Structure formats: structure tokens, C-alpha cells
Amino acid sequence: MDGNGRWAKQRGLKRTEGHAAGEHALFDTVEGALDIGLEWMTVYAFSTENWRRPVDEVRYLMNFNENLLLRRRDELHERGVRVRFIGRRGGRVPGRLRRQISDAEELTRRNRTMTLTFAFNYGGRAELVDAARAIGHEVAAGRLVPDKITDRTVARNLYAPDMPDPDLLVRTSGEFRISNYLLWELAYAELVFTDVLWPDFRREHLFEAIREYQRRERRFGAVDG
């Protein structure tokens, strides 16, 4: 979900105004996903690198995400959405926000219409480091032999081991990179890039990306029969 700052700058607004506008984009997109029956959606809400932004912007984003949960979690719950978060929960994430995250997850944990995952204080490299540490503890405890480590071993130690690998990645705002996002999980995902800045993104753009995905041929390293 990229382009909030540029959207605000084009309009002579503060960067935080772009983040606020991005909320409508997010929930219009979520509603569209629910309408067409998507069962899994993951959004990049705050990266491990975003701590480098100005202090005022980081503080705004922490408060914004807490307020978003307070305003929207009941609505999502009523729609049968399971809300989950992946990323590091400790460190500089405020305790009050961590509690709101846990409350939202607990409230919606039995829902199955769609799983909406927020990648928050998330980095793909950090996820792999944390998985490696968990595997190392298993080896040290004698529960795992190094020669038995496989890709499945790594996968079950990721933040959300039950989440299927994404079929489609949509990157907004004309950027052509994945920016440390789901590095393991995106191995065979189809990538769609759009020039639309995130605050202008709507369900129609999601549908357009899915139509592009449907036109592609996925072989997963194999050849046509």
C-alpha cells in the first residue's frame, strides 16, 4: 500500500493526511475482496524499515493503527473477517497497540469468511531470521537434526504457517520492487504493478489486477504438457 506521502504532497497536504486517506482505500478494497469471495488478503501496514521515518510520522502511524482497530474491528467481525497480524510484537511497538492487536485477533479468531492479515512491524528478512532462530532452538534442544531441515521446516516456523503462499502481489504507486515483503512466501506469486497511488486505489483496481492474474500461465518451474 504505497504512495500515501506522494498523494498528500501533490495536494499540498501533510504526509499524515495521505495515511488517513489510505484507510478508505483499504476498506473499499477489503469490501471488494469480500464481495468476490477472496479468502485471504494480506496488507503491508508498517515495515521494520518504517521506523526510520520522522518521529512525528511514526507516532501518527502507531496511533492511527490503534484507532483503526478500535473503529473497524467490530465491523470486520460482523462481516466474518478473521483479523491477524504478522511481524515482531515487541521492541518499539507501544504496549497499548499490542493489546489492541491481541484483542482484535481474539475477537475474530473463529471467523472464516476471509482472513485479513496486517503485516505490521514486519520485514521479510526479519521473518526469516526469526524462523532460523526458532529452528536453531529446536536443534539445540535435540528435537531436530540439522540434516532433516527442509523447506517445510522453514515454512512451519514463519509468522503465519497456516497462511497459503500468495497467488498475487499488487504493488501500488509505480514502484517496481517488493521491498522486503513476504520474501519466502512470494517465491511463485504473480506480480502486478500499478501507477495508482494507494489513497486512490479502489476495489475496481483490485479486480483489474485479478483479471491480469487470470490471463497469466503459471507453471511453477515446469513446462507445458
Listed in sequence order, the DSSP H helices in the chain are 4-10, 15-36, 55-78, 95-108, 124-140, 151-155, 203-214
Q: How far, CA to CA in Å, does 176 sit from each of 55, 200, 220?
A: 27, 18, 22
Question: Which DSSP string corresponds to 40-63?
Answer: EEEEEEEEGGGGGS-HHHHHHHHH
Indicate if 2 belongs to the active site: yes
Report angle CA 200, 3, 16 to the nearest 5 degrees.
95
The residue whose grid cell reads 517488493 is: 178
Query: Nine-digit cell at 40?
Result: 485471504
Q: Which of 2, 65, 121, 157 is catalytic?
A: 2
**Burial (Cβ within 10 Å: 0-12, 13-18, ≥19) of residue 171:** buried
Active site residue 35: no
Contacts of 67 (CB under 8 A, 6+ apart): none
In angstroms, what CA-CA distances link 223 with 120, 167, 198, 218, 220?
A: 37, 19, 36, 10, 9
Among 28, 50, 130, 180, the one annotated catalytic? 50
Q: Are 172 and 4 in contact (CB under 8 A)?
A: no
Query: CA 205, 117, 171, 223: dihedral to nearest 10 degrees?
Result: -100
Q: Would you please indicate which residues are annotated as catalytic (active-site) residues?
A: 2, 50
